[in-house]
Every structure is written in structure tokens, then in C-alpha cells.
């Protein structure tokens, strides 16, 4: 079993040349009053990524098209065969989270799947890193392995799958309705659990400029607080399996 099949994600280190991309993003942020050297101008968004329409539009303007190179294409071929669409040109929506003062934790709410479980794999989700995203620096949290449990609930949406998994195992209840506040983080992030023979664990997707993470659209995930001193700058994008692809 490949890492993607087993854990639901795989990193392509230094997959693209990030030169100039963070600067281009800052150029766009500057036009909306945010400056890299002035934290007073950094917009707060409840600890979550900025969700402004202009930012999404800017991301799809083609300025980040260089992420879609041969290395990333080849990795997508391996996962989806050669029948996929939407990779080139329009990469990708910026994920910008500015530092918050509230400290870092594993959120209880907001965990979701991006697509209902489907077989064969209907899409691949991607993150591309434009800044250094270190531990507790706003990297997305995933429940590694959860895509394999989610396949038992084809076509169902996040809330329903969440309820079913909570009924299935106390580890998921601790994630979403915590009781043991002191031990919650080690239980979720270090110990994990075996559920129906699948190892699950909360993993923080950190990364360096140029890294790409490919991940399963039915992996439980959530945005995390940025407790570092630096803004998190990433991109996200989806490629879809072509309907006529085997
Ligand atoms: O801001 C984040 O890290 C969460 C991103 C997310 O939920 C998504 O891209 O589907």
C-alpha cells in the first residue's frame, strides 16, 4: 500500500520553484492594506484563513501556474491515471492565516471532508507552500487514515460520517467532544488509535516553500490557529478524475 493509500496524504518536497510567489501574494495583500512588515495591518479572521473573494480570484489569475509542473503532474498520474483535469493554469486559491493570540490547539469543531467518499478516487486535493509553515504555524490538521474509514459511508456528508465515527470509537469522541483536556493532545497526535484495523492520528501538515502535499478529498481535516509570529502563506487546489477515465 502506498503512503497515499494508507495515510491519505503524501508530500512532494521541493516540487516547484516558489521564487517570487510569496512576493506576488504580498503585492495583492498590500493592495488591500496588509503589509508584510507591519503586523498591525494583518487582518484577523477568527484564527481561520482569509476568505475574501478577491483573494480566490487572484489565485486563479495564473500567477501561481508554475506549481503545475512535470513532477506534480507525474504524481497525479500515479494517483488518478492520466485521466484528470484542472491542473494547469488556474492554480490555486491562497490560504493566508495571520498569527492569532489565542495559542494553538486541535480544534473540536470545523472538521470536514471536502468530498463524500467515492470509489474510485474522484479527485485529489493539493496544498502548495509559499512560506515556511512550522509546527503550530497554521498548517492544516488532518486525521491520517480517516479516508479509509470514510469509504464505509459512500456518498454521505461530513456531519453524518462524523456522527458514525463518534459512535464507532471513543478516540473520535475525544477529538470532537473532548472529556480529557489534559491528555487530549498526546492521545490525538502521538498515540492515535486503531479503528477497524486502520491507524488514525491527528497530523499537522507543516511544510517549506516549494513543497506540495497531495491529499485525499475524503480525509477529515480542519484549519488550525497560527500561533507563530509569521503569516501562513499556502495555496490549495483540486484536480478531478475525468468522467471517462478508467
Ligand atoms: O485553512 C486551512 O488550512 C483549511 C483548508 C481547508 O479546509 C480546505 O482547503 O479544504
For residue 54, the domain's CATH number is 2.60.120.620
Examine residue 89 and state whether it is found in any structural domain, yes or no.
yes
Burial of 36 (0-12, 13-18, 19+ CB in 10 A): middle
pLDDT digits (tens, 9 = 90+) for 156-215: 999 999 999 999 999 999 999 999 889 999 999 999 999 999 999 999 999 999 999 999
Do the domain assignments include residue 83?
Answer: yes
Residue 246: per-residue pLDDT: 53
- Kindly give the parts of the chain with pLDDT less than 70: 86-89, 244-246
Ramachandran region of residue 195, left (φ > 0), alpha (ψ -120 to 50) or beta? beta
CA 199 – CA 44 distance, rounded (Å): 35
pLDDT of residue 241: 86
Residue to mutate (ligand 1; options 94, 130, 236, 239; most atoms within 8 A of CB): 236
Q: Global pTM?
A: 0.95
| pLDDT at residue 244 in the model | 65
Predicted pLDDT at 102: 84
The total domain count for the chain is 1
Tell whether ligand 1 has an atom less than 6 A from the beta carbon of residue 49.
Answer: yes
Domain residue limits at 58: 3-99+108-241
Distance 236 CA to ligand 1 centre (A): 8
The answer to whether position 45 is within a domain reads yes
In a domain? residue 22? yes
Q: Is the Cα torsion angle 35, 39, 43, 48 positive or negative in sign?
A: positive
Contact assessment for residue 97 and residue 45, using Cβ atoms and an 8 Å cutoff = yes
What per-residue confidence (pLDDT) applies to 245?
60
246 domain residue, yes or no: no
Output the pLDDT for position 88.
56
139 CA to centre of ligand 1 in angstroms? 9
User: Going by CA atoms, what residue is nearest to atom 2 of ligand 1?
Assistant: 223
Amino acid at each position: 500500500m502506498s503512503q497515499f493509500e494508507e495515510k491519505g496524504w503524501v508530500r512532494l518536497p521541493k516540487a516547484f520553484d516558489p521564487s517570487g510567489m510569496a512576493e506576488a501574494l504580498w503585492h495583492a495583500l498590500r493592495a488591500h492594506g496588509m503589509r508584510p512588515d507591519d503586523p498591525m495591518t494583518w487582518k484577523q479572521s477568527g484564527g481561520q484563513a482569509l476568505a475574501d473573494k478577491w483573494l480566490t480570484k487572484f489565485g486563479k489569475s495564473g500567477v501561481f501556474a508554475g506549481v503545475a509542473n512535470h513532477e506534480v503532474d507525474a504524481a497525479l498520474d500515479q494517483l488518478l491515471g492520466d485521466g484528470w483535469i484542472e491542473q494547469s493554469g488556474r492554480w490555486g486559491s491562497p490560504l493566508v492565516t495571520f498569527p492569532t493570540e489565542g495559542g494553538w490547539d486541535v480544534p473540536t469543531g470545523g472538521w470536514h471532508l471536502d468530498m463524500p467518499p467515492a470509489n474510485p478516487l474522484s479527485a485529489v486535493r493539493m496544498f502548495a507552500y509559499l512560506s515556511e509553515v512550522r509546527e503550530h504555524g497554521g498548517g492544516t490538521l488532518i486525521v491520517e487514515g480517516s479516508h479509509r474509514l470514510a469509504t464505509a459511508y459512500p456518498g454521505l456528508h461530513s456531519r453524518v460520517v462524523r456522527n458514525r465515527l463518534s459512535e464507532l470509537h471513543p478516540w473520535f469522541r475525544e477529538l470532537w467532544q473532548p472529556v480529557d483536556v489534559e491528555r487530549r493532545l498526546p492521545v490525538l497526535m502521538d498515540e492515535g488509535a486503531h479503528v477497524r484495523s486502520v491507524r488514525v492520528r491527528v497530523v499537522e501538515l507543516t511544510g517549506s516553500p516549494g513543497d506540495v502535499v497531495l491529499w485525499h478529498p475524503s480525509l477529515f481535516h480542519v484549519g488550525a490557529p497560527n500561533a507563530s509570529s509569521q503569516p501562513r502563506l499556502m495555496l490549495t487546489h483540486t484536480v478531478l478524475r475525468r468522467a471517462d477515465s478508467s
